[in-house]
C-alpha cells in the first residue's frame, strides 16, 4: 500500500490535462506492456467486457521510480466544465493528492481555483504544475505568482513541464510519489469501498468504479451494497490500464472496477459503500454532497410509444449522473414526458444528446427554467420548476429568483467588457481585486440570466480569456412575470417562460416572430400571441396555405407520389399538435434561442 498513489489532475479544459495523462501512460508503458501480456491472456472474455473499456474513468500505471521501487499510480479522471464541479468532488474522494496543472501563458482560471479549493477541503495534497513551458509566450514566473496570489498555495517549487515535449515529466513523476501521500487504510479491517461511479452494461449489468478504503475484496466473494442492503456475488474485479484487466483481489488503497451481476439499474448508487456480506463494516463511508439541479426542462418523446423506453433510458443515465433528476410530467402540447433537472444548460445538452444517440430517442424539449421561490398570498411558499405551474397572479405575493455568486477571473484588458456584461445581466458587484496579471471579480447574478447564455457571452466578450465559477447563494424578490404563448387562442404550456418584467415585451415580440417563421402554413390561418396574464403584448399571423395538390400520376406511376406523401407524413409525425395546429419541434427550441445573441 505504501507503493500506491491515488491522484487526479485539476486543469482547465485546454491547459493540457490529456496530453499530460498520455505522457504518463507512455512513460510507464514499458513496464505496462510486459505486465499486460500475461494479464491479457488471463482475461478470457474481453469481448464481453467491451462495454467497460468505453467508460474507463481511472487508469492504473506502474512506475519504476529512482528509488528502485515500482509504484502503482492510479490516475482518476475529472471533468472540466463549470456545470460539472460536483463530478470533481466525486473524483477527488478517491484520491490522496491532486496535480494542479496551469498553462504557463494563460495563467490561473476560475474553475481551477474552485476545484483546487474543493481538493484542499477534502484534505488532498495539491502539487502545482506549470505546463506548456515550451511555448514562446510562456511566463512561468508570472503564473507561479498567480498561483500564490489567487489560490494562495505555495508555488515556489511548482514543477515546470512541457507535456508536449516531455520536458520535466520524469521529474514530475518523482515529485508525485514523493509529495502525494500513500493511501491510509487498514487492509485487514472489514471492507469499505466507495462507489465513485457506476454505469450500466447490457452484458454484465452494473459496473462500478470503486476506491477501496479499508479491507479487501476478492472475486467470488459476497458483497453487500449498504444503501440497498442487497447481497451480490463478485463476478470479476480489476483495474483499467486503460484496458480492463481482471484481478483476483482489490485491497485498501486500490482503485478498480467491480462487476457483481447487479441487474437493477439503481443497484449500486454512486457515493454508496460496498462491504462484505459475511463481515460487514460497522459504518458506511461518508458519501457525496447531494447536488441540487438548478435548471429544469420538460423532455417529451416525439413518438408517444417511446415513453417507456424513455423512462428506462433516464434511469440508466441517472445511475452515474446523480445530478440528473426527473419526474413524470404531462403537457397539454407535448403529451407524456418527464420534467428533468440539470446542473446547467451544458448538462442538459449532454443528457439530451446521450438520450438521442445512445438510446435512439427522438425528443422535444420545453423551455428550460430555473427554480423560483413563490410566496403565495395565503402565506405558503412553493418552489416552482415549471412556468405552467405558477399560481394565478392574484394568488402570488412575491416571486423570488435564485441568485448565484459568480467568481470571475479576467485579464485587465477585458475587464470593461465583462463589467458591462454583468450589468446587462442584472448583476451586482461584490468585489473587484487586481491580482498580478488578472482581475478577480465577484458578482451576484440571477441564475436565470446565467443559464441562458452567460458562459458563451463571457467567453466572447473577453476573447476567451475570462473564466468563471459559480455557486448558489440565495433567493431574492424580483419583478418577474409569466409570458405565455397562445396559438389560435390556446395557451401552449410548453412555451411559457418566466421573465423579468423589463424584458417581457422584447422577449414576447421575438418569440412571436420566431413562431411565425417556424410554424408552416396550414389549411387555415394561425394566430400567434404572446400574453402576460390576459394582456396580449405581441401578435403575428401565419397565413393560410392556399392549396396543396400533387400533379397527376403520369402514365399510372403511383410509386413516386406515394414516396413523396410518405415523406410528408413522416415529417408530420415529428410535429406536435396544438388544437388543430401542427407545430414543428424547432418551434419549442426557439424559446431557447431568442434573447440569446
Partner 1 sequence: MTVLENPPLALYVHFPWCVRKCPYCDFNSYTLRGPLAEDAYLAALRADLEAQAIEASGREVISIFLGGGTPSLFSPRAIGEVLMMARERLRLAAGLEVTLEANPGTIERGRFAEYRAAGITRVSLGAQSFDAGRLAVLGRIHSPDETRRAAEELHAAGLGNFNLDLMYGLPGQDAAGAVRDIESALALAPAHLSHYQLTLEPGTQFAGRPPALPEEEQIERMLAACGERLAAEGLEQYEVSAYARPGRQCRHNLNYWRFGDYLGIGAGAHGKLTRAQAGQVLRSAQPREPRRYLACAAEGAAARQAVPAEQLPFEFMLNALRLREGFEPALFSRRTGLPWESLARPLGELMARELIVGDGVRYRASPLGWRFLNELLLSFLPETRESVG
Residue 549 interacts with partner 1 (CB under 8 A)? Answer: yes
C-alpha 206/C-alpha 60 separation (Å) is 21
What track of x and - describes contact with partner 1 for positions 327 through 366 (by CB under 8 A)?
A: ---------------------------------x------
Beta-ladder partners of 222: 233
Beta carbon of residue 526, minimum distance to partner 1 (angstroms, whole number): 15
List binders of partner 1 among 568-597 (CB under 8 A).
Answer: 568-570, 572
Residue 552 interacts with partner 1 (CB under 8 A)? Answer: yes
Which of these segments, 102-110, 134-142, 528-536, 543-551, binds partner 1 (CB under 8 A)? 543-551
Beta carbon of residue 547, minimum distance to partner 1 (angstroms, whole number): 4
Residue 558 interacts with partner 1 (CB under 8 A)? Answer: yes
C-alpha 395/C-alpha 300 separation (Å) is 30
What is the per-residue DSSP string for 83-139?
Answer: GGHHHHHHHHTT-SEEEEEEETTT---HHHHHHHHHHHHTTPEEEEEEE-TTSTT--
C-alpha 7/C-alpha 255 separation (Å) is 10
Beta carbon of residue 566, minimum distance to partner 1 (angstroms, whole number): 6
3-state secondary structure 134-164: CCCCCCHHHHHHHHHHHHCCCCCCCEECCCC
Residue 179 interacts with partner 1 (CB under 8 A)? Answer: no
Using CB under 8 A, pick the residue from 227, 309, 352, 503 that binds partner 1: 309
The terminus-to-terminus CA distance of the chain in angstroms comes to 54
Beta carbon of residue 352, minimum distance to partner 1 (angstroms, whole number): 17
Nearest to 315 by CA among 265, 262, 261: 265
Beta carbon of residue 551, minimum distance to partner 1 (angstroms, whole number): 6
Q: Whose Cβ is closer to partner 1: residue 546's or residue 597's?
A: 546
Beta-ladder partners of 485: 530
Q: Whose Cβ is closer to partner 1: residue 54's or residue 549's?
A: 549
Q: Whose Cβ is closer to partner 1: residue 263's or residue 360's?
A: 360
Phi, psi of 24 (to 5 degrees): -60, -50
Using CB under 8 A, pick the residue from 41, 136, 554, 597 that binds partner 1: 554
Q: Whose Cβ is closer to partner 1: residue 72's or residue 522's?
A: 522
* CA 333 from centre of chain: 28
Using CB under 8 A, pick the residue from 47, 67, 557, 597 that binds partner 1: 557
Which of these segments, 220-228, 304-312, 393-401, 528-536, binds partner 1 (CB under 8 A)? 304-312
C-alpha 574/C-alpha 584 separation (Å) is 7
Q: Is 253 left (phi over 0), alpha (psi -120 to 50) or beta?
A: left
Q: Whose Cβ is closer to partner 1: residue 381's or residue 523's?
A: 523
Which of these segments, 156-164, 244-252, 471-479, 550-558, binds partner 1 (CB under 8 A)? 550-558
Using CB under 8 A, pick the residue from 154, 553, 593, 596 that binds partner 1: 553
Nearest to 372 by CA among 454, 476, 452: 476
- The number of residues that bind partner 1 (CB under 8 A) is 28
Nearest to 367 by CA among 84, 59, 535, 595: 595
List binders of partner 1 among 427-486 (CB under 8 A).
Answer: none
Residue 548 interacts with partner 1 (CB under 8 A)? Answer: yes
CB proximity list for 574: less than 8 A, separation 6 or greater: 302, 362, 584, 585
Residue 556 interacts with partner 1 (CB under 8 A)? Answer: yes
Using CB under 8 A, pick the residue from 148, 306, 321, 510 that binds partner 1: 306
List binders of partner 1 among 499-528 (CB under 8 A).
Answer: 523
C-alpha 159/C-alpha 460 separation (Å) is 32
Q: Whose Cβ is closer to partner 1: residue 231's or residue 523's?
A: 523
CA atoms within 13 A on the CB side of 394: 1
CB proximity list for 34: less than 8 A, separation 6 or greater: none
C-alpha 56/C-alpha 524 separation (Å) is 55
Q: Whose Cβ is closer to partner 1: residue 89's or residue 522's?
A: 522
Nearest to 548 by CA among 559, 564, 563: 564
List binders of partner 1 among 355-414 (CB under 8 A).
Answer: 360
Using CB under 8 A, pick the residue from 231, 393, 428, 550 that binds partner 1: 550
Beta carbon of residue 548, minimum distance to partner 1 (angstroms, whole number): 5
Beta carbon of residue 577, minimum distance to partner 1 (angstroms, whole number): 13
Q: Which residue has the cell 434561442?
A: 593
* 294 contacts 402 by C-beta, under 8 angstroms: yes
Beta carbon of residue 542, minimum distance to partner 1 (angstroms, whole number): 13
Beta carbon of residue 259, minimum distance to partner 1 (angstroms, whole number): 24
Beta carbon of residue 305, minimum distance to partner 1 (angstroms, whole number): 8
C-alpha 21/C-alpha 164 separation (Å) is 11
Beta carbon of residue 554, minimum distance to partner 1 (angstroms, whole number): 6
Using CB under 8 A, pick the residue from 561, 579, 584, 589 that binds partner 1: 561
Parallel, antiparallel or unpaired: strands 4-11 and 97-103: parallel
Which positions lie near partner 1, rule CB under 8 A? Answer: 305-306, 309, 360, 523, 545-559, 561-562, 565-566, 568-570, 572
Amino acid at each position: 500500500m505504501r507503493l500506491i498513489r491515488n491522484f487526479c489532475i485539476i486543469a482547465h479544459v485546454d491547459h493540457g490535462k490529456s496530453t499530460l495523462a498520455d505522457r504518463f501512460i507512455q512513460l510507464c508503458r514499458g513496464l505496462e506492456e510486459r505486465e499486460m501480456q500475461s494479464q491479457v491472456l488471463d482475461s478470457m472474455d474481453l469481448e464481453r467486457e467491451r462495454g467497460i473499456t468505453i467508460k474507463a474513468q481511472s487508469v492504473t500505471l506502474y512506475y519504476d521510480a529512482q528509488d528502485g521501487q515500482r509504484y502503482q499510480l492510479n490516475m482518476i479522471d475529472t471533468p472540466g466544465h463549470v456545470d460539472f464541479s460536483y463530478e470533481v468532488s466525486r473524483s477527488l474522494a478517491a484520491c490522496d493528492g491532486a496535480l494542479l496543472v496551469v498553462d504557463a501563458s494563460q495563467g490561473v482560471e476560475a474553475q481551477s481555483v474552485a476545484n483546487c479549493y474543493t481538493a484542499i477541503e477534502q484534505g488532498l495534497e495539491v502539487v502545482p504544475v506549470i505546463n506548456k513551458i515550451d511555448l514562446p509566450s510562456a511566463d512561468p514566473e508570472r503564473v507561479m505568482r498567480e498561483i500564490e496570489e489567487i489560490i494562495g498555495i505555495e508555488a515556489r517549487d511548482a514543477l515546470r513541464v512541457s507535456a508536449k515535449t516531455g520536458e520535466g515529466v520524469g521529474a514530475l513523476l518523482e515529485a508525485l510519489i514523493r509529495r502525494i501521500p500513500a493511501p491510509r487504510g487498514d487492509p485487514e479491517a472489514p471492507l469499505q469501498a466507495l462507489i465513485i461511479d457506476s454505469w450500466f452494461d447490457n452484458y454484465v449489468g452494473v459496473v462500478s468504479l470503486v476506491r477501496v478504503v479499508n479491507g479487501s475484496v476478492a472475486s467470488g466473494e459476497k458483497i453487500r451494497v449498504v444503501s440497498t442492503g442487497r447481497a451480490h456475488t463478485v463476478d470479476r474485479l480489476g483495474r483499467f490500464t486503460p484496458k480492463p484487466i481482471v484481478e483476483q483481489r482489490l485491497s485498501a488503497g486500490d482503485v478498480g472496477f467491480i462487476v457483481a451481476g447487479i441487474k437493477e439499474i439503481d443497484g449500486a448508487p454512486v457515493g454508496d459503500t460496498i462491504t462484505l456480506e459475511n463481515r460487514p463494516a460497522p459504518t458506511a463511508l461518508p458519501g457525496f454532497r447531494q447536488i441540487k439541479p438548478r435548471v429544469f426542462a420538460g423532455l417529451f418523446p416525439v413518438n408517444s410509444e417511446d415513453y417507456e423506453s424513455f423512462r428506462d433510458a433516464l434511469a440508466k443515465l441517472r445511475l452515474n449522473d446523480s445530478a440528473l433528476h426527473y419526474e413524470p410530467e404531462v403537457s397539454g402540447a407535448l403529451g407524456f414526458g418527464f420534467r428533468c433537472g440539470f446542473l446547467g444548460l451544458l448538462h442538459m445538452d449532454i443528457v439530451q444528446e446521450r438520450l438521442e444517440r445512445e438510446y435512439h430517442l427522438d425528443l422535444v424539449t420545453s423551455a428550460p427554467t430555473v427554480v423560483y421561490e413563490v410566496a403565495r398570498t395565503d402565506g405558503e411558499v412553493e418552489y416552482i420548476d415549471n412556468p405552467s405551474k405558477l399560481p394565478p397572479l392574484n394568488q402570488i405575493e412575491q416571486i423570488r429568483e435564485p441568485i448565484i455568486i459568480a467568481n470571475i477571473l479576467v485579464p485587465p484588458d477585458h475587464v470593461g467588457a465583462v463589467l458591462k456584461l454583468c450589468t446587462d445581466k442584472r448583476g451586482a458587484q461584490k468585489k473587484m481585486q487586481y491580482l498580478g496579471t488578472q482581475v478577480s471579480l465577484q458578482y451576484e447574478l440571477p441564475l436565470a440570466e446565467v443559464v441562458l447564455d452567460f458562459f458563451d457571452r463571457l467567453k466572447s466578450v473577453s476573447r476567451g480569456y475570462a473564466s468563471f465559477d459559480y455557486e448558489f447563494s440565495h433567493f431574492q424578490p424580483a419583478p418577474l412575470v409569466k409570458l405565455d404563448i397562445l396559438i389560435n387562442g390556446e395557451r401552449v404550456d410548453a412555451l411559457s417562460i418566466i421573465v423579468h418584467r423589463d424584458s417581457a415585451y422584447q422577449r414576447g415580440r421575438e418569440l412571436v416572430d420566431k413562431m411565425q417563421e417556424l410554424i408552416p402554413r396550414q389549411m387555415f390561418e394561425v394566430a400567434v400571441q404572446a400574453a402576460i396574464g390576459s394582456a396580449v403584448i405581441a401578435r403575428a399571423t401565419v397565413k393560410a396555405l392556399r392549396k396543396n395538390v400533387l400533379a397527376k400520376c403520369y402514365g399510372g406511376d403511383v410509386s413516386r407520389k406515394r414516396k413523396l406523401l410518405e415523406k410528408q407524413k413522416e415529417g408530420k409525425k415529428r410535429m406536435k399538435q396544438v388544437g388543430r395546429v401542427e407545430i414543428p419541434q424547432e418551434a419549442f427550441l426557439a424559446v431557447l434561442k431568442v434573447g440569446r445573441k
